Structure 1
Amino acid sequence: MGSIFVSELIGTALLVLLGCGVVANVALTGSKGHGGGWLLVNFGWGLAVFAGVYTAARSGAHLNPAVTLGLWIAGQDFAPGVSPGFAHAAVYAGGQLTGAMAGAILVFLAYKKHFDAETDPGAVLGVFATGPAIRTPAWNVLTEAVATFVLVYVVLVLGGTPSGLGPLAVALLVVGIGASLGGPTGYALNPARDLGPRIIHAALRLGRKGGSDWAYAWIPVIGPFLGGLVAGLLYHISPMPL
């Protein structure tokens, strides 16, 4: 199971490095991509998924505990020869969270001077963690659940384990989800993607950083898990033919 852990760690680290990296490029003062806009962020995250999925193909490229949960509930193997179950799920989640933290550290190192120059604590936090446009917890959870349902259900329909054009399809799906459903909450879609970098934000010494908004942190964890759960249940009840 060590190879699964390492595969998910590296894939998720690349996902967060490139995904949070595009947010840093757009949000941080003095960056050449500053003010690049929402669509640049959407495409950056989509390409981050593309890179992460290809890199972690050995483990099935979940990169996301909500995807792992959806596969488990649907009864699909986590990867060829890897049956769904608690022990395997724990290894996947551990690799994903560790990788997300590692990716966040790399973003910090790449943009260190821009973090030093940034005067807006909200921009600094936004590089690492998601936040709502309008803070209404129940609706924020629902938004994250709906968006993650779309992600996980389509992954299940694609066959769970990406291969061939699968990574490109998932990448474009993430671009579409961000463009269509990302506005209310910033579309975490992934508990590890939000929690890991938020932990790193809390731990780092950033010149003008504010709080890590732990009051909101449960929403991008619970919402995606709910979306993955419902997607897995629906697929389990009525699987789509491949």
Structure 2
Amino acid sequence: MSSSDIFLSETIGTAVLLLMGGGVCAAVTFKRSKAHNAGWVAIAFGWGFAVLTGAYIAAKSGAHLNPAVTVAVAITGGIKWSQAPVYFAGEMFGAIIGAVLVYLAYYGQFRAHLTDPEVLKDHTTEEGLVDPKAAPKAGPVLGIFSTGPEIRNVVQNLVTEIIATIVLVLAILCLGLTKGVALSGIGVLLVALVVTGIGLSLGGPTGYAINPARDLGPRIAHALLPLPNKGGSDWGYAWIPVVGPLIGGAIAAGIYQVAFA
């Protein structure tokens, strides 16, 4: 497969993943949305279906959609390390595109939400201005784009992302041990169910990024998009949902090599 094929496949698949995943977060967040306050279960299933759709679309390239998966597949010999940067580029570019598409799809809701005094009062300083340095209060819509912890503890947050990513990546790698599943559509469905399960069981502490591109790409989009009163992008936390999943993916590959390969 050519580098251009890999890049296009991963870009389109990851864009759809982020469009649908970010879309369910937007739908639940905005007061002027029919899904307002639908809750965490809706978000978990929405992200699971997002993975399902994006992975089917990107089947040609192996549907990594996640740098942590790419690292694990490279470690286990599924792709050449020289191909990894192409996967990373497609995943990141696609994630940014997907986040921008969420903004376009919910443009009216973004404008209404970010000019609503009731929304802004919990994200403002005494002078009435959004404080971009006041994490985690800053950023009334940041949760639509990227993840954040409920309890800000660097060690716990990092460990949570590592553990959740190990579960995801190990499940993906082990699908290849079940005859026929990895080559059929059932494999993609099972991964989507795993993602849903991770969201329900391990997503509470940090919002389960489990994917560096899923978090960093939309966070960049949040920083660049012309959103009024959007606040900061919480860059102080941004390294955790990048480093944690990469470590988790590498550990999962090691466990797979030792226990299952």
Equivalent runs, 1:1-242 vs 2, <5 Å: 1-75=3-77, 77=78, 83-85=79-81, 87-119=82-114, 120=119, 122-159=139-176, 163-239=184-260
Shift of 1:162: 5.8
> Which deviations, in whole Å up to 9, do the C-alpha atoms of 1:111-166 show, x marking residues without a partner?
01111011446441000010000000111000000000000000000129663301
Please say if residues 139 and 233 of structure 2, whose CA atoms lie closer than 8 Å, have aligned partners that are also in contact: no
Which runs of 5 or more residues in structure 1 are unaligned? 78-82
Please say if residues 54 and 61 of structure 1, whose CA atoms lie closer than 8 Å, have aligned partners that are also in contact: yes
Distance 2:167 2:12 in 1: 25
Please say if residues 61 and 162 of structure 1, whose CA atoms lie closer than 8 Å, have aligned partners that are also in contact: no
TM-score, normalised on structure 2?
A: 0.87
Please say if residues 101 and 196 of structure 1, whose CA atoms lie closer than 8 Å, have aligned partners that are also in contact: yes
Larger radius of gyration: 2
Please say if residues 101 and 197 of structure 1, whose CA atoms lie closer than 8 Å, have aligned partners that are also in contact: yes
Percentage of identical aligned residues: 56
Distance 2:183 2:35 in 1: 31
- Report the RMSD for the aligned CA atoms in angstroms: 1.3
Q: Aligned AA for 2:201?
A: S
Count residues with an aligned counterpart: 233
> Which deviations, in whole Å up to 9, do the C-alpha atoms of 1:157-214 show, x marking residues without a partner?
0129663301110011000000000000000010000000000000011112000000
Distance 1:163 1:2 in 2: 24
Q: Aligned AA for 1:145?
A: I
Which runs of 5 or more residues in structure 2 are unaligned? 120-137
Q: Runs of 4 or more off by more than 4 Å in structure 1?
A: none
